[in-house]
């Protein structure tokens, strides 16, 4: 048995490995609402492509991708809300909670519809959050 194997085996006896999760492999402190906006733009683009096609298989793919992207919007928004924004931000921007609630609800609504206006509303709501985000970065 090699020395590396002995070390690794001894570590297994000391403590079982622990799995941890973050929005990236290392909590880096790099946040940007652009990630959510890009996914929201994909949601709207998938709605447009779905509505512009008569191909059932293509429409099915567009719906699947749209739903995945809408989930990614929610993920990126929740990372911003839970990891970046602090109580002092909420004090200065008391409507912040409502803005996040609306945007994540709209992302959920976008999963259920191919109405492009819902996709656009999602982009607009993320843009409002981005305004507050960049104001806090000054």
pLDDT tens sequence across 107-119: 999 999 999 999 9
The burial of 62, by beta-carbon neighbours within 10 Å (0-12 exposed, 13-18 middle, 19 or more buried), is given as: buried
CATH, range 33-136: 1.20.120.400
So what's the pLDDT on residue 5? Answer: 72
For the segment 3-33, what is each residue's pLDDT rounded down to a tens digit? 767 766 766 565 566 665 555 555 666 789 9
So what's the pLDDT on residue 30? Answer: 76
For the segment 55-107, what is each residue's pLDDT rounded down to a tens digit? 999 999 999 999 999 999 999 999 999 989 999 999 999 999 999 999 999 99
- pTM > 0.95: no
| pLDDT band for position 40 (cuts 50, 70, 90) | very high
CA separation for the pair 114, 107 (Å, rounded): 12
So what's the pLDDT on residue 21? Answer: 55
So what's the pLDDT on residue 11? Answer: 63
Q: What torsion, rounded to 10 degrees, do the Cα atoms 63, 66, 71, 73 define?
A: -160
- Per domain, the residue ranges of the chain are 33-136
């Amino acid at each position: 048995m090699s020395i590396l194997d002995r070390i690794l085996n001894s570590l297994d006896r000391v403590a079982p490995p622990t799995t941890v999760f973050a929005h990236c492999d290392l909590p880096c402190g790099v946040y940007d609402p652009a990630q959510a906006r890009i996914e929201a733009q994909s949601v709207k683009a998938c709605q447009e492509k779905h509505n512009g096609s008569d191909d059932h298989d293509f429409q099915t793919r567009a719906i699947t991708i749209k739903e995945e992207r809408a989930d990614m919007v929610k993920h990126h928004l929740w990372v911003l809300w839970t990891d970046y924004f602090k109580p002092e931000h909420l004090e200065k921007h008391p409507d912040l909670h409502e803005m996040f609630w609306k945007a994540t609800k709209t992302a959920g609504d976008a999963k259920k519809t191919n109405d492009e206006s819902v996709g656009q509303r999602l982009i607009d709501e993320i843009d409002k959050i981005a305004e507050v985000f960049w104001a806090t970065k000054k």
